[in-house]
Amino acid sequence: MPIRAPGRTRRGRARAAALALAALLGAAVPGCGTQADPGAAPTPPAATVRHSGGRDAEAALQGAVRRLVAGGRAPGAAALALDGGGTRFASAGLANVRTGRRIHESDRFRAGSITKTFVATVVLQLAEKRRLGLNDTVEEHLPGLVRGQGNDGRKITLRQLLTHTSGLFDFAGDQRVARRLAGPPGASPLTPRQLVRIAVGHRPQFAPGARWHYSNTNYVLLGLVVERVTGRPYAAETERRVLTPLALRGTSFPGTRTTLPTPHGRAYAAQNGARHRRTPRDRTIPRDVTDLDPSPASAAGEAISTLDDLARFYAALLRGEVLGPAALRRMRDTTASDGRYGMGLFPVRLSCGVTLWGHNGRISGSYVQVVATPDGRHVLAYRLNSDVLPPAAAERDLLKAEFCRT
C-alpha cells in the first residue's frame, strides 16, 4: 500500500517547509544541532555485510550499524570502512519500507553539508594556483553583493567564509525561504545570489573574525567566488578538479533536478509521519521525501554521492593527493574557531584518544558523516536514510568500534 502524507493547511505547509529547511541545511558540526528523541522503533532486519577485512572488524561494524537503526527512528543505515585490511560494508534495516528493499553499497543519496568539503578543496586549489588569495575580500570577487544591515563584503575575507567566522546570517534561518519552499509546485528556484541577498537582509551575528558561527551563507558565497574566478559554475569546476581525477563517478551536484540517480533507495523525513498498519499494531511510517529540489542548498549542501565515493574522497584528501601540504594544514587549522572547525573539515575526538577529521551532512531525508584518521589510511562513511539524527550513544559506539580497536 502506498504511503500517504496527511493533508495540510496553508499554515501547516509553511510549518512543514520551515522544518524541511531546517533538515535541509541544519546539520553540521557535532553539538550544533539538537539530538532527536530515539522513540520506539521496529526491530530491523539483520544487517548484511560485504567485507575483505578481519572477522572481528566485520562483526564490530555489523553490530554498530544495527544499533544505529535499533536505537533511532531511521528505517535503515549503512556504513563503509576503508583501512589496511580492505573494504567493509554493512547495512541494517530497510532502504524502502514499502517494498522491503535493503540498502545497497552502490546506492546514491543526498550528502548535504558534505558538499562543503568539496567546495573548500576547490577554493584551496585555486589559492595554490594563485587564482585567488584567502585574504581576498568578498567585495573583490563579488562587488556590491554583501552590503546592507551592517554587512560589508569589504571587511569579510575568503578565509573567514571558509572557517565560518564571517558573522553572516545563515539564510536557512529566514522564514521567507521557508515560505518559498512551501509555495506551489513549479515555482522558480531561489538562486545563490537571491539566497545571499536574503541573508544580508539580516544584521550580522558579529563582526567579521570576532568569533565562530556555522552559516550556510558562507559556502554559497564561496561557490559564487569559484564561478567568478574560473568562469564555470562551482559544480563544473569541482567535477573537473576533484571528481574526474579521483574517478568519483557516483557523485554529482544536481542543481534543480529533483530526482536521485539510480540505483537508490528512498529517503524519509522525521516529521509528519503517516499512520499505516505494518504489524498487528500500528506504527508510524515516515514521510517519503526522496524527490526534492535541493537548489536552496547550492554550494552549501546539494551534493549526491555514494559511501564508496565519499570514503575514497576523504582518504585521498587527507593523504595529500588532492592538496599540497601547506593547503592541507590550513584545512585542519582550527585556531579561528577555538578548535571546532577548520576549512571544510572538523575534528572528531574520541574517548580513546583518537582524533578523526571529516564532515557530516543533513538534508531532508538523509544524514551522513565521513571521518578518517589524520593520514587518511582509515576512513569510515556512514549514513541513515532519514534526516532524524542518530542516537548519540549509537553513533559514539560506531566510531569507537571502528577506530578504538586494539
The CATH code belonging to domain 53-267+288-403 is 3.40.710.10
pLDDT of residue 179: 64
H or E element: which one contains 396? helix 392-403
Phi, psi of 261 (to 5 degrees): -65, 155
Q: Could you tell me if 295 and 361 are in contact, meaning their C-beta atoms sit under 8 angstroms apart?
A: no
Per-residue pLDDT, 26: 52
Alpha helices (H) in 8-49, listed in sequence order: 10-25
* Cα 159 from chain centre: 21
The angle subtended at Cα 153 by Cα 17 and Cα 335, nearest 5°, is 85
DSSP state of 365: T
Q: What does the DSSP assignment read for 56-76?
A: HHHHHHHHHHHHHHHTSS-SE
186: left (phi over 0), alpha (psi -120 to 50) or beta: left
DSSP-derived 3-state class of residue 46: coil
Q: Is the dihedral of CA 22, 341, 86, 319 positive or negative?
A: positive
**Cell numbers representing residue 1 in the block:** 500500500
Would you kindly state where each structural domain of the chain is located, as residue ranges?
A: 53-267+288-403
- CA-CA-CA-CA torsion sign (56, 62, 63, 65): positive
d(CA 348, CA 358): 8
Structure confidence by residue, pLDDT tens digits, 331-356: 999 999 999 999 999 999 999 999 99
* pLDDT of res. 24: 53
In sequence order, what are the beta bridge partners of 362?
367
Segments of the chain scoring below 50 in pLDDT: 1-19, 22-23, 27-47, 49-51, 183, 185, 272-282
Q: Please, what is the Cα angle at 28 between 307 and 147, to 5 degrees?
A: 125
pLDDT for residue 85: 77
State residue 10's pLDDT score: 45
Distance CA 209, CA 286 (A): 41
